[in-house]
Chains A and B, each alone.
Chain A
Amino acid sequence: AQSVAQPEDQVNVAEGNPLTVKCTYSVSGNPYLFWYVQYPNRGLQFLLKYITGDNLVKGSYGFEAEFNKSQTSFHLKKPSALVSDSALYFCAVRSPDSWGKFQFGAGTQVVVTP
């Protein structure tokens, strides 16, 4: 079975400060890991993914994430948050052996204040 945990329901950060959204996972084998963002009344948009290779992956809008196999984590980061980054962020995992099923976390609401 595969699972994803996002331990924070909400993250509050001031504009210009670093932003981190946490994600840990459980999956058999090597994981495929993803971050998606959802703006109000919209569908999810892809931000970045880790499949293999460099543990630090860069994605859209200045976001990056670091895959840590020993800690089974894939935290999303942005060095300097913008008010426009306020949204709902989802971490997702898929096992290479379960290619039909993506498992999503519960989501973390990010609020960036001016």
Chain B
Amino acid sequence: NAGVTQTPKFQVLKTGQSMTLQCAQDMNHEYMSWYRQDPGMGLRLIHYSVGAGITDQGEVPNGYNVSRSTTEDFPLRLLSAAPSQTSVYFCASREVTSGANVLTFGAGSRLTVL
């Protein structure tokens, strides 16, 4: 049981480049989400999904796109990277139907935009 797997762990981009952060979970969790972590600001929700084909915006969605074509995967796309998107990104999932409420986090992806 691998839990939540994020790739890549590290990435350096130039301003204007695009990339996709991958997130996969093998726990059959309905809910998946992306957070960014910045010093002194905690974790801020970017986008989340409550099931395949359903996504919604979080607190800081601008500059990011998501899609959910399968239960297992929830990629985060940066269409035109900006230095303000330099951050550590975390994917998290949770089971919804049992009401467990506990988020399971991936190990994180550190992104630097030059």
Contact = CB atoms under 8 A, between A and B. Distances in A.
Interface string B31-54: 101010000111111001010000
A7 B69 CA distance: 40
B101 A49 contact: yes
Contacts of A49: 101-102
A91 to B, nearest CB: 9
Given A9-B40, A90-B42, A100-B31, A43 B48 contact: no
Interface range on chain B (Cβ under 8 Å from partner): 20 to 34
A44 B31 CA distance: 17
A104 B42 contact: yes
Contacts of A107: 42
Contacts of A34: 101-103
Given A43-B106, A44-B90, A94 B43 contact: no
B45 A101 contact: yes
Interface residues of A, number: 25
Contacts of A9: 40
Contacts of B104: 46
B26 interface: no
Given A101-B45, A101-B48, A106-B42, A42 B102 contact: no
Interface in A68-114: 90, 94, 99-107
17 contacts: A34-B101, A43-B4, A43-B90, A43-B106, A44-B43, A44-B90, A45-B105, A46-B102, A46-B104, A90-B42, A90-B43, A99-B96, A100-B31, A100-B56, A102-B33, A102-B103, A107-B42
Interface of B: 4, 31, 33, 35, 40-45, 48, 50, 56, 58-59, 90, 92, 96, 101-108
